[in-house]
Structure 1
Amino acid sequence: MTGTMMRSMDGEETEIDLRDEGDGEDDGEQQPWKTQLETVLEEEEEDLISTQSDTRPLIDERDPKQINECLKVSFEDVIAEPLSVRSGDRVWIWSHALFEASRVWFYRIITTLLAVPVSIIAGVLFAVLAFIHIWFLTPCVQVVLINTGWLQTLWSGVLDIFILPLCQSIAKCCRGISVRLTQE
């Protein structure tokens, strides 16, 4: 009995040989089917891990955190004709086709021209922001926190001495109030 099994995982097809050992089509050392499947799964797991590294971006998943969910726009989201006014069917079909084609192709043209420069500018901007945050902002905040520790102690004392007893007294006074709504 000769056969193959196709298994699809993440769009990638894997062929597994399901031939019996007595088929006469020996390729040398024949392993049992389960061992071959485990080997294929281990290879696919290694491939999956290698594609998820930080240095190699995922080609299929370009918005894994759904940041640009609002940009999933279709023709029906932009143009919709009510029942009272309608254009001809051919006009509607051509409008839909031209909308989709122009949206896709102009995006491709613009990204071809501007994606690399904008990426460089964004990388420089985020590097500058990280530098400012790490080397200026965080040390300044730490200096302020160190030098105003006494102010924090004073403020917590004021809250504990004046504000907390006042709020507790108001809470005890209001505890006895109950509101009952009846319908007449």
Structure 2
Amino acid sequence: MMSDEYLVECKIDDDDDDDEEEDDYDVKKIHPSPPPPPQFSSTPSLTQVEIRDPYGVNKHLKVEFSDVLAEPASTHSYDRVWVYSGIAFESMRLWGYRCLSALCAVPLSCLCGCLFALLACMHIWCVMPCIQVCHTCLPCVRSLWMSVVNIFITPFCASVARCCSGINVMYSKE
């Protein structure tokens, strides 16, 4: 079954207002066909590699030079110092990230993958079976607990209530 992302919308021009004077047998303008799905296209389109943060998880990391450094109106450095500082900041941010990600990305992604694999394994093979066993055994435990309550606790509470029902407390101001 084909997913919805590969469906193509075909626009059909049914406007007869412009063609009232023309015969219906005239050839209408042919609209260009929509682009083919990405796997059949020979031209590059946005791929998974180009869209690296599709859900906007790291929106807070879009840092510019003006977000970090700013000079007040009363004190300004030389214009060249400010321009070169901006260039140095942007290039060090870009190349520093590239170098650190080249060193750390693969090992950290392996560690994160192992961590998520461990969590998934624990959830599938330990947590969910324990929860299912509890759901299976709870009716038996519930009926046992209700028997204990009805045999021991209910008569005790009823007798204490009868003993205390004759007590009257009067409050008066003297």
State the TM-score, normalized to the length of structure 2.
0.55
Stretches of structure 2 that go unaligned for 5 or more consecutive residues are 1-28, 42-46, 147-174
User: Is 1:46 matched with 2:37?
Assistant: yes
2:86 to 71, 80, 96: 96
User: Is 1:112 matched with 2:108?
Assistant: no
Query: What is the number of equivalent residue pairs in this alignment?
Result: 110
Alignment of 1:59-98 (within 5 A): 59-98=49-88
Alignment of 1:143-162 (within 5 A): 143-149=133-139, 150=142
Deviation by residue 1:80-114 (Cα, 9 ceiling, x = unmatched): 12223322211111110000000001111111222
Partner of residue 20, structure 1: none
1:34 to 30, 37, 43: 30
RMSD: 2.7
1:124 to 94, 114, 118: 114
Deviation by residue 1:38-90 (Cα, 9 ceiling, x = unmatched): 2xx2xx3321688xxxxxx6122110000011111111111112223322211
1:141 to 118, 131, 138: 131
Identity of aligned pairs, percent?
A: 41
Q: Counting strand residues as a fraction of each chain, which structure ranks higher? A: 1
State the TM-score, normalized to the length of structure 1.
0.52
Q: CA deviation at 1:130?
A: 0.6
Deviation by residue 1:13-59 (Cα, 9 ceiling, x = unmatched): xxxxxxxxxxxxxxxxxxxx837x32xx2xx3321688xxxxxx612
Deviation by residue 1:102-135 (Cα, 9 ceiling, x = unmatched): 0001111111222112111111111111111111
Instruction: Supply the distance in 2 between the matched residues of 1:81 and 1:46 (Cα, whole angstroms).
Output: 50
Alignment of 1:10-29 (within 5 A): none
Secondary structure, aligned partner of 2:36: helix
Q: CA deviation at 1:144?
A: 2.4
- The verdict on how the C-alpha distance between 1:89 and 1:127 changes in structure 2, with shifts beyond 3 A counting, is same
Instruction: Supply the distance in 2 between the matched residues of 1:49 and 1:135 (Cα, whole angstroms).
Output: 41
Stretches of structure 1 that go unaligned for 5 or more consecutive residues are 1-32, 51-56, 155-184
What residue identity is the alignment partner of 2:79? D
Larger Rg: 2
What residue identity is the alignment partner of 1:83? A
